[in-house]
Amino acid sequence: MSDVTLTAGIRQNLLSLQQTSAELTQTQEALSTGNAVNSAAENPSAYFTSQNLTNTANSLSALLDQIGQGLQTIDAADNGLTGITSLLQQALSTVQQAQSDSWTTAAAATGTAVLANSTTTGSLDLTSTTAASTGTVNLNASTLTGVAAVSATLSAGSFTIDAGGSDYVVSIAASATASQVAADIGTATGNAVTATVNGSGDLVLTSTTGSFTVDDNATAEAVGLTTSGNNAASTFTNPTSGGTLTIAQGTSSPYSIAITANEGLSAIESAINSATGGAVTATANSSGDLVLTSATGGYTVGGSAATAVGLTAGSVTAALDNAATAGTLNIVAGGSSYSVTITAGEAASSVAAAIGTATGGAVTAAVNGSGDLVLSSNNASGFTVDDSATAESLGLTTVGNNTTVTPAANSLSGGNLLIAVGSTTFSVSVAANSSLAQIEADINGTSGLGSSGAVTASDDGDGHLVLTSNSAPTGFTVVANAFSTALGLTTNATTNNAPIGSSTTRATLQENYNGLLSQINEMASDSGYNGVNLLGGDNLTIDFNQTGTSQLVIQGVNYNAQGLGLSSITGSAAGSFEDNGALSNLVSSINTAISNVQSQTETFGTNSSTISTRQTFTTAMINTLQTGASNLVVADQNQESADLLTEQTQQQLEISALSIANQANQSVLKLFS
């Protein structure tokens, strides 16, 4: 195109047309965008200032969303506080309803000190055992056979027989026969010594109770029993043969006792007792039989002489010395009669257990170190063991006599028991060492107390003093002092004991109250929004500018039951709904909780108002920034519209001028054609 030459007129018209087109394009863009400045090239200062203001407005818009979510979080917490307030008011109403309900079961106080203790000890060792065996041969039997027949021409006279420590004088009639003499001997000795006549006509004297001696004199010689100058002594007839008697006990070597024929019972006893050292003792019964006894366990009899002394070879087992007789043991305690079934030979420890079980602990039994049964009771009136064969076999009674046991005097020092009922305090004077029954009588005998008064004294059957209100709706107070502490009615001498009654209505209201606390816990847990629970201890931070230098931190609270200072109530003792003092404290605690919730509601309300104010401010600030940004670049639609019309007209005129200039050049060319 370098060979094309434009005239000055065409070139001028063309440049004007280009400028007008550019201006027209700019005006059209301003009208379409509404902005007079659409790029930094058009107006750098206005463009960049507007962009900065717009960015700031956009940042605040983002913060505005956060502020709105913060308001919702506070609203959720406020909803929870409203619900918790309602539940607290219901809990308060429940407690106040319990306060207005009277006890239906009377108040009672039970002492911890045992004030009655009665004991009796049996008279028999129920644990001792003895092994014993009795021979079957009379080792005391002895005989004396005369040395000559009775003289046929006896003169009247007498002689003496020494038997068992007694001297018997036997009188003989003149010309008495042998048979008559034998009869006279039996008569004179009362049959301690008896006599018969053998085939040779000799007198044969016999004793079953031991040895005897016939004193020598003319008459004794005449009947053939003695010889001149010599007394005649009997000889033992058993044992008929000698040998060795053995007695074995435990793991020790057997005891060995040498036995000779016709040795005699006393000698045999001495030999056995000496050999065994008393481990097995030998005695004799009234029939002259050998009796072996051991208190140290069973034993075994053996040896060649066992049969000769009348013992049976073999083991001898030990048996209880005092065995229970089968039957019923009857015990009366506290107005109740208890029957204890006892089996024959039942062990002492088993008997003791049976007594405790049958009486339900009203009377307890044990076995002391001597093997005796020891019966004890804390009943204020003691107890009685009725006499029976079974009771006697246990050593608890004697024939025909019941055993009545009364409580022993206690070691209480005297003092005054103070019982306050309403505005009245009753003083009961109790003497030192008073029994439980006497203490009860002292209390019940005090004017204003007892069955016709405010408080009655009794006992629980285990030796403890029991005070009971006679009017279920009325409680009482045991005033603390050293004496009330000694009775176990107060824990110390300075802390009063205020016994309380019970009511089924209060018990139900206590369950309802605990249910309300559970609902408070659940409501506090459910009051969160978008992961933040202001009632669960979470904090909420709301930023008011994009740099975080302006913010509001909202402190969360723990407003479950525990956080509000409330806890579940259990049981029916002090501290429960049965306790009027506890109810009063609970009313105070709930009112404090309500006050705290209301205060927190106000705090959240203030926070909400602050956030709302900042929300309005931020919205206005965004509008200001956006308006300022717009004002820097906004186009005047009227101006731009007028400019557009002018530019369009100018463009048309410039096109026409260019056309005219072009036609002029063509006219010149025609001159050369």
Residue 107 pLDDT exceeds 70:
yes
Residue 2 pLDDT exceeds 60:
no
**CA pseudo-torsion sign 608, 611, 613, 616:** negative
Cα separation, 389 vs 396, whole angstroms: 10
Report the pLDDT value the prediction gives residue 527, as an integer from 0 to 100. Answer: 93
**548-587: per-residue pLDDT in tens?**
778 788 899 999 999 999 999 999 888 899 888 899 999 9
| Locus of tokens 């203001």 | 53
What average pLDDT score do residues 523-542 get? 91
What average pLDDT score do residues 190-196 get? 96
**270-328: per-residue pLDDT in tens?**
999 999 999 999 999 999 999 999 988 899 999 999 999 999 999 999 988 899 999 99
Lowest mean pLDDT among 422-436, 495-509, 654-668: 654-668
**619-639: per-residue pLDDT in tens?**
887 788 777 766 665 555 676
Residue 414 pLDDT exceeds 80:
yes
pTM: 0.54
pLDDT band at 60 (very low <50, low <70, confident <90, very high): low
CB atoms within 10 A of CB 567: 12
**Adjacent-strand bridge partners of 299:** 316
Residue 22 pLDDT exceeds 80:
no
What average pLDDT score do residues 344-351 get? 93
- What DSSP assignment string belongs to 110-131? E--S----EEEE-SS-SS-EEE
Lowest mean pLDDT among 60-64, 109-113, 230-234, 510-514: 60-64
Residue 423 has which token pair?
A: 């505005």
pLDDT band at 7 (very low <50, low <70, confident <90, very high): low
Please, where are the H alpha helices in 394-487?
436-444, 482-486
Q: Are 528 and 79 in contact (CB under 8 A)?
A: no
Cα separation, 220 vs 213, whole angstroms: 11
For 276-281, the CB contacts below 8 A with 24+ separation are 276/247, 276/249, 279/249, 279/255, 280/247, 280/249, 280/255
- What DSSP assignment string belongs to 138-204? -TT-EEEEEEEEPPTTPPSEEEEEEETTEEEEEEE-TT--HHHHHHHHHHHTTTSSEEEE-TTSEEE
State percent of the chain over pLDDT 70: 88
Cα separation, 539 vs 530, whole angstroms: 13
Cα–chain center distance at 578:
23
**239-252: per-residue pLDDT in tens?**
999 999 999 998 88
Cα separation, 242 vs 246, whole angstroms: 13
Phi/psi at 283 (5° precision): -140, -175
CA distances for 364 relative to 18, 350, 354, 378, angstroms:
130, 12, 9, 9
CA distances for 389 relative to 306, 308, 401, 503, 559, angstroms:
38, 40, 11, 51, 75
Q: Are 448 and 76 in contact (CB under 8 A)?
A: no
What average pLDDT score do residues 225-241 get? 95
Report the pLDDT value the prediction gives residue 185, as an integer from 0 to 100. Answer: 96
What average pLDDT score do residues 376-381 get? 87
Backbone region of residue 334 per phi and psi (left: phi > 0; alpha: psi in -120 to 50; beta: other values): left
pLDDT band at 47 (very low <50, low <70, confident <90, very high): low
Phi/psi at 305 (5° precision): -95, 0
Question: End-to-end alpha-carbon separation of the chain, Å?
Answer: 24
Report the pLDDT value the prediction gives residue 144, as an integer from 0 to 100. Answer: 96
Report the pLDDT value the prediction gives residue 616, as an integer from 0 to 100. Answer: 84
Report the pLDDT value the prediction gives residue 91, as an integer from 0 to 100. Answer: 95
Phi/psi at 334 (5° precision): 60, 35
Q: Are 640 and 37 in contact (CB under 8 A)?
A: no
Nearest to 63 by CA among 506, 521, 541, 470: 541
As separate numbers, helices (DSSP H) first and strands (DSSP E) second, the chain gives 12, 31
- What DSSP assignment string belongs to 526-537? T--BTTB-TTBT
Q: Which residues of 140-157 are buried (b: 16+ CB within 10 A; e: fewer)?
A: bbbbbbbebebbeebeeb
**Mean pLDDT, rounded, of the chain:** 88
Backbone region of residue 366 per phi and psi (left: phi > 0; alpha: psi in -120 to 50; beta: other values): beta
What average pLDDT score do residues 484-498 get? 93
For 235, counting Cβ atoms within 10 Å of its Cβ (0-12 exposed, 13-18 middle, 19+ buried), the class is exposed
Report the pLDDT value the prediction gives residue 544, as an integer from 0 to 100. Answer: 77
What average pLDDT score do residues 428-442 get? 92
